[in-house]
């Protein structure tokens, strides 16, 4: 019923129970997982590809997270290119700009992001984008780079969206799909819920971004894909549709964006 469009199931936090975590999610109705290779060290990419090879319902994305942008070299680009030729790899990501944590310098982030957008365009692959910071300091340059390097030929998702309603609509105009995580379920997230309500049903995705950001009811615990339905429940309420309809819409949107086999 659900498709977790963004999770880090290769993270060390699942070292002891990765297969059991996937099984719990399947039992909770998760029919597919997008395993994000970036964000937990460069080798996370090869682990995500291996996991996707091992499970029919897991697909991988590969990239360089903005936190790790300083590692970008021609050699890294060559490895990304090789992975992207793999049939179980469905796109580039997560990549983008994070001016909140600033774990890599501003220039390195912009350059690594621009290189990955250009690569995605060349290889005709969708992109999962991470953007964090004050709006517009990280948001405006993200969109500028996307438009300069992507030239309107690319498809992408703004994952774990936490920005303004105004920017969400600029991004929708630019063709993006918008994905919400457990943050949209938090008690204090009234403003974000208003943003989510304003994103049309045919442009919405759900994700956990596990192992972090466990939804309301599970806060403080390690997150897991089994709880993606909790995010979907909140979005269904906001859109005044049944949970089944919300699940189907977000699943169809993800299958279309990532061009998953039927």
Report the residue closest to Zn ion, judged by CB.
130
Q: Which is nearer to Zn ion, 94 or 224 (CB)?
A: 94
Q: How far is the CB of 68 from Zn ion (least distance, A)?
A: 12
Q: Which is nearer to Zn ion, 101 or 244 (CB)?
A: 101
Q: How far is the CB of 240 from Zn ion (least distance, A)?
A: 29
**3-state secondary structure labels for all residues of the chain:** CEEEEEECCCCHHHCCCHHHHHHHHHHCCEEEEEEECCCCCCCHHHHHHHHHHHCCCEEEEECCCHHHHHHCCHHHHHHHHHHHCCCCEEEEEEEEEECCCCCCCHHHHHHHHHHHHHHHHHHCCCEEEEEECCCCCCHHHHHHHHHHHHCCCCCEEECCCCCCHHHHHHHHHCCCEEEECHHHHCCCCHHHHHHHHHCCHHHEEECCCCCCCCCCCCCCCCCCHHHHHHHHHHHHHHHCCCHHHHHHHHHHHHHHHCCCCC
Q: Which is nearer to Zn ion, 94 or 155 (CB)?
A: 94
Q: Which is nearer to Zn ion, 195 or 236 (CB)?
A: 195
Q: How far is the CB of 100 from Zn ion (least distance, A)?
A: 11
Q: Which is nearer to Zn ion, 13 or 130 (CB)?
A: 130
Q: Which is nearer to Zn ion, 125 or 208 (CB)?
A: 208
Q: How far is the CB of 159 from Zn ion (least distance, A)?
A: 6
Q: How far is the CB of 235 from Zn ion (least distance, A)?
A: 18
Residue 71 C-alpha from the chain's centroid = 21
Q: How far is the CB of 181 from Zn ion (least distance, A)?
A: 9
- Which residues lie near Zn ion (CB under 5 A)? 94, 130, 209
């Amino acid at each position: 019923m659900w498709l977790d469009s963004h999770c880090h199931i290769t993270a060390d936090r699942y070292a002891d129970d990765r297969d059991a975590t996937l099984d719990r999610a399947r039992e909770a109705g998760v029919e597919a997982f997008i395993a994000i290779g970036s964000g937990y060290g460069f080798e996370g990419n090869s682990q995500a590809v291996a996991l996707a090879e091992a499970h029919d319902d897991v697909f991988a994305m590969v990239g360089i997270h903005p936190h790790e942008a300083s590692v970008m070299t021609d050699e890294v680009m060559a490895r990304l290119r090789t992975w992207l030729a793999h049939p179980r790899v469905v796109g580039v990501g997560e990549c983008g700009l994070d001016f909140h944590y600033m774990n890599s310098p501003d220039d390195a982030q912009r350059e690594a992001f621009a290189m990955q957008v250009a690569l995605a365009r060349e290889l005709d692959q969708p992109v999962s984008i991470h953007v964090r910071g004050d709006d517009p300091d990280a948001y405006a340059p993200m969109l500028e780079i996307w438009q300069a390097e992507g030239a309107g030929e690319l498809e992408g998702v703004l994952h774990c969206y936490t920005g303004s309603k105004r920017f969400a609509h600029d991004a929708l105009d630019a063709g993006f799909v918008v994905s919400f995580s457990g943050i949209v379920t938090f008690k204090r997230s009234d403003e974000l819920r208003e943003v989510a309500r304003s994103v049309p049903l045919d442009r919405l995705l759900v994700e956990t971004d596990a192992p972090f950001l466990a939804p309301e009811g599970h806060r403080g615990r390690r997150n897991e894909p089994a709880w993606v339905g909790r995010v979907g429940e909140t979005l269904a309420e906001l859109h005044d549709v049944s949970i089944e309809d919300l699940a189907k819409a977000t699943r169809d949107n993800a299958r279309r964006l990532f061009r998953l086999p039927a």
